[in-house]
């Protein structure tokens, strides 16, 4: 299965898209990972890893310090650098680019807020926090693949 088949499956499957994505991670066929200078698999895996880091932070099993302000910045990760650079230049006029830019910023804002709450020892509803991060992570995955599909001439809505 390739990306476009995955996209069709998750958008036609019904139910909460973020839940569908959690059950059906993005699958790449040979040669599909690279998209205009971005390795999509690496970028998506890095965002998915934040869910595990936050879960460990919430359980107290991760003593690492992740600066909340840096985590909240949507332009510091590989995907963010691409979104604010090459993708803006190449695809900035496409609605799918705008959606990716928006949901990626929202993802980082949620991650930063959760980290800030944890680091300030505020009461955090771990279940709600992780659900929000997972949903935003799914939104980023879906938006990136929709941009890819649009550029490839297979836009879906």
Tens-digit pLDDT profile for residues 23-64:
556 677 777 889 999 998 888 888 888 888 888 888 888 778
Torsion of Cα atoms, 44 then 12 then 110 then 82, to 10°: 40
157, pLDDT greater than 50: no
Predicted pLDDT of residue 71: 92
pLDDT, one tens digit per residue, over 84-106 is 999 999 999 999 999 999 999 99
Q: Which residue has the tokens 């932070």?
A: 57
What is the average pLDDT across 78-86?
96
Predicted pLDDT of residue 12: 57
Q: Which residue has the tokens 């993005």?
A: 26
> If you count them, how many residues does the chain have?
157
32 neighbors 47 (Cβ within 8 angstroms)? no
Task: Out of 1-15, 59-73, 75-89, 96-110, pick the least confident.
Answer: 1-15
Query: For the chain, which domains are there?
Result: 3-151 (1.20.120.30)
Partner residues linked to 38 by β-bridges: 35
Question: pLDDT averaged over the chain?
Answer: 82
């Amino acid at each position: 299965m390739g990306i476009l088949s995955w996209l069709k499956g998750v958008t036609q499957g019904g139910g909460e898209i973020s839940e569908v994505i959690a059950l059906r991670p993005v699958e790449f066929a040979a040669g599909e990972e690279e998209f205009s200078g971005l390795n999509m698999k690496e970028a998506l895996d890095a965002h998915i890893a934040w869910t595990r880091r936050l879960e460990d932070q919430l359980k107290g099993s991760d003593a690492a310090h992740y600066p909340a302000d840096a985590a909240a910045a949507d332009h510091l990760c590989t995907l963010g650098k691409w979104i604010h650079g090459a993708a803006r230049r190449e695809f900035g006029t496409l609605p799918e680019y705008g959606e990716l830019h928006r949901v990626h910023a929202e993802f980082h804002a949620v991650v930063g807020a959760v980290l800030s709450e944890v680091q300030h020892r505020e009461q955090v509803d771990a279940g709600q926090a992780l659900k929000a991060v997972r949903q935003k992570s799914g939104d980023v995955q879906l938006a990136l693949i929709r941009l890819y599909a649009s550029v490839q001439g297979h836009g879906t809505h």
